[in-house]
Amino acid sequence: MKGITMIDTSEMTYLGSFMVDSGQAMIGDPCYLDEWQAQYEDFNDYPNQKGKYSYLGACEATITNNHGVLAEGRGVVFSSGYGDGVYPVYAKFNDEGRVAQIVIDFIGDEE
């Protein structure tokens, strides 16, 4: 990929894959999920969602900048490579067995 050095995941541990159906993904602590603002009836009923911990807050961030922070750090949201799909997640562990690095492969092997 031009201008990007892909991370070699062959020495990492495969954790699993997750589905993307909105062209975006989010990372956050599950303890904040009870604060998530569900907005499914009519999106027009929820104006000014910038930075909100909600689906519309996530959409506004990824449409505007391809990424963003929600609710003062409760989540980080970003566009998912080429959009919808199933994406693998890999981890590298330190000598103590703690997760040191996470890689989500949104692009895959293009060759």
Return the pLDDT at 111. Answer: 47
Residues 37-46 pLDDT 10s? 876 666 666 6
Alpha helices, H only, 4-78: 55-65
pTM above 0.85, yes or no: no
Which pLDDT band, with edges at 50, 70 and 90, does 6 fall under? Answer: confident
Q: Do 70 and 109 sit in the same domain of this protein?
A: no
Number of domains in the chain: 2
As a whole number, the mean pLDDT across the chain is: 88
Q: Do 37 and 71 sit in the same domain of this protein?
A: yes
Q: Do 37 and 5 sit in the same domain of this protein?
A: no
Q: How many CB atoms lie within 10 A of CB 56?
A: 17
∠46-60-40 over CA atoms, to 5°? 40
Q: Do 66 and 104 sit in the same domain of this protein?
A: no
